[in-house]
Amino acid sequence: MESEQSAAAIVDAVREIYGYDFVPLHRPVFAGAEKANLAACIDSNFVSSVGEKVTAFEASIAAFTGSRFAVATVNGTAALHVGLILAGVERGDEVISQALTFVATCNAISYIGAHPVFVDVDRETMGLGATALKQFLSATVRLTDGRAYNRVTGRRIAACVPMHSFGLACEIEEIADLCAGYGIPVVEDAAESLGSYVGKRHTGTFGLIGTYSFNGNKIITTGGGGMIVTDDEIIARRAKHLTTTAKTPHPYEFVHDEVGFNYRMPNLNAALGCAQMDQLPGFLRLKRAVADYYHDRLADIGAGFIKEREGTRANYWLNALCLPDAAARDAVLNACNDAGVMTRPVWRLMSSLPMFRDCMHDGLEVSRWLEKRIVNIPSSVPDAVIADGPLGPYLA
């Protein structure tokens, strides 16, 4: 099919479920107790960093993901930053991640003074590839006293940060096994994958530490916010301590025992989070219906629709199409955006950004291949879904 026809088919499919005004890529839905929770917060005077909503939101994320502990943070980047510190990453270390990711993953590594190292992604999941990682580790790592060092740079490889792109679970079990063999802790960037699973296990719970984001464009939002999850009680306590200015408990004295961060989530944001968590199962059901609808509607346009891998369950946070080449992608981007249907290409590879240009990387063949072809299409939770509408058949 010509790119023009592909674009027209995408615009039609999008408009049938999202209507005829401008269609954003992803907008939040506040159809629960958000306003009531916010009002209750304001009335209680607990709007800032201490409050029962923070505790309730943490408990809700822990229960939903099956983590023993959850610590709320001011955003997902802060969660990653502290997660990496708690995994033992120090200045001058290296951290393995993927070039195909949102910049926050690599910024967090850089805040510590550590260096990202980019390993290729897998074509099906768009997340860190187990095969590429295995090759990289066996070619590059020297083990000394149970610690992994990069033979080429001499630096310690202190952590690995796989990311579940657009809510598609990456090969996290294989990645966790590989890293365990080299004594490399895994910090999962699960910012995009709340509600995504491998088997019955939630993404973000395979590594030592997992992190989530509740930015305005994520599957649930707290305005801005993040979460650190772990099964390790000491790490959880340290996470709370470090994100709350490292203040030692005392009824009135201010004593801090190390340089901490003001990374806590305000109670107001957590109040939103509690209301959003109540709606998450419904959001997931509707997003799956949207994905199934797109999959069928766009089957003939010459673009691959990226589906969840067998044995995994995606949250379908952002749906992605894979166009035949960069020219076809650009034609679709231009035509859809001109028609008021927001679409966007995948992130520029981190390895091409000025601040990460000198970072070590493998061949990144799949990352480069995907970078030219992937387009995200509108994926919000749709408003009123009626049984005899286009999504009806997908909501069985």
**Residue among 3 and 213 whose Cβ is closer to ligand PLP:** 213
**Residue among 77 and 376 whose Cβ is closer to ligand PLP:** 77
* Residue whose token pair is 């589906």: 307
Q: Give the nearest distance from C-beta 253 to ligand PLP in angstroms.
A: 32
- What is the spatial distance between Cα 360 and Cα 94, in angstroms, rounded to a whole number? 10
**Residue among 199 and 216 whose Cβ is closer to ligand PLP:** 216
Q: Calculate helix-pair angle for 34-44, 267-297, nearest 10 degrees.
A: 170
**Residue with the CB atom nearest ligand PLP in the bound state:** 76
Q: Give the nearest distance from C-beta 386 to ligand PLP in angstroms.
A: 32
Q: Give the nearest distance from C-beta 163 to ligand PLP in angstroms.
A: 5
**Residue among 99 and 191 whose Cβ is closer to ligand PLP:** 191
Q: Give the nearest distance from C-beta 121 to ligand PLP in angstroms.
A: 12
Q: Give the nearest distance from C-beta 75 to ligand PLP in angstroms.
A: 4
Q: Give the nearest distance from C-beta 291 to ligand PLP in angstroms.
A: 18
Is residue 239 within 8 Å of residue 255, measured between CB atoms? no
Q: Give the nearest distance from C-beta 347 to ligand PLP in angstroms.
A: 9
**Residue among 9 and 163 whose Cβ is closer to ligand PLP:** 163
Q: Which residues bind ligand PLP (CB under 6 A)?
A: 75-77, 101-102, 104-105, 163, 189, 191-192, 213, 215, 226
**Residue among 324 and 345 whose Cβ is closer to ligand PLP:** 345
**Residue among 101 and 312 whose Cβ is closer to ligand PLP:** 101
